Amino acid sequence: MTRKRPDGGRTGARRPATRVKTARGRAPSSTRWLARQLNDPYVAEAQQRGYRSRAAFKLIQLDERFRLFRRGQRVIDLGAAPGGWTQVAVERAGRGGVVALDLLAMDPVPGAAILCLDFLDDSAPARLTEALGGPADLVLSDMAAPTTGHAATDHLRIMALAEVAFDFAQTVLAPGGAFVCKLFQGGAEAHLLNTIKQRFEKVRHAKPPASRSESAETYLVATGFRAPPDGG
């Protein structure tokens, strides 16, 4: 029996699942996480292809569905660490046009400019725009606040990040540009979604196959940015 590879190709016969013994001092939750990592085909494929995280395949799959990238684009990647999305952006848009930002330090990605900075810092938008050197064609946001386990609180936190990411995107995007943003299940709240729909030709929600089924994450994909007539 064969199975599809994360990039749509085929791998060989299905490998037997790897069992992880509960080690002394390791919590059961840690054991479950380790077992999931060892048996996750996206983790194995990411390692084989040199991607820093399995999350790279989420962006690859979103691009295959929505045709987000083209050569020569200017791209901003928010919440970039450890750099899987940045790697994909450089591969698909080309070197020199990608700027990545994260609060956490990350190793350099050849062909991308890296800013270690809190996106909520007042200086962040100006520094991103300066590093990009012109209007953006695509703004990506995989930002997520640390989860608390309380669904309502976690939803509010990620919605706040989505709102500031959108506010920034509409100041830097070129006409026709696109915006991709992580949300939790339930999608964007009505007022934010309505505002985004006014600024983009198409707005859709998507959960790529690489997003784990038990995860509450989903992605908002907005394409065809309409710049306001007054530029404001």
Omega cis (within 30) before 82: yes
Give the whole-angstrom CA distance, residue 81 versus residue 25.
Answer: 29
Whole-angstrom Cα Rg for the chain: 18
What proportions of the chain, in percent to the nearest 5, are helix, strand and coil?
35, 25, 40
Q: Is 21 an annotated catalytic residue? A: no
Q: What is residue 73's three-state secondary structure?
A: coil
Complete edge-to-edge strand list for the sheet that includes strand 75-78: 112-116, 98-102, 75-78, 136-141, 173-184, 217-225, 200-206
Question: Which positions ≥6 away from 125 have C-beta within 8 Å?
Answer: 168, 171, 172
Given 4, 21, 58, 182, which residue is catalytic?
182
Question: If residue 183 lies in a helix (H) or strand (E), which one and from where to where?
Answer: strand 173-184
Angle of CA points 69, 209, 40, to nearest 5°? 115
The answer to whether 87 and 51 have CB atoms below 8 angstroms apart is yes
Catalytic residues: 182
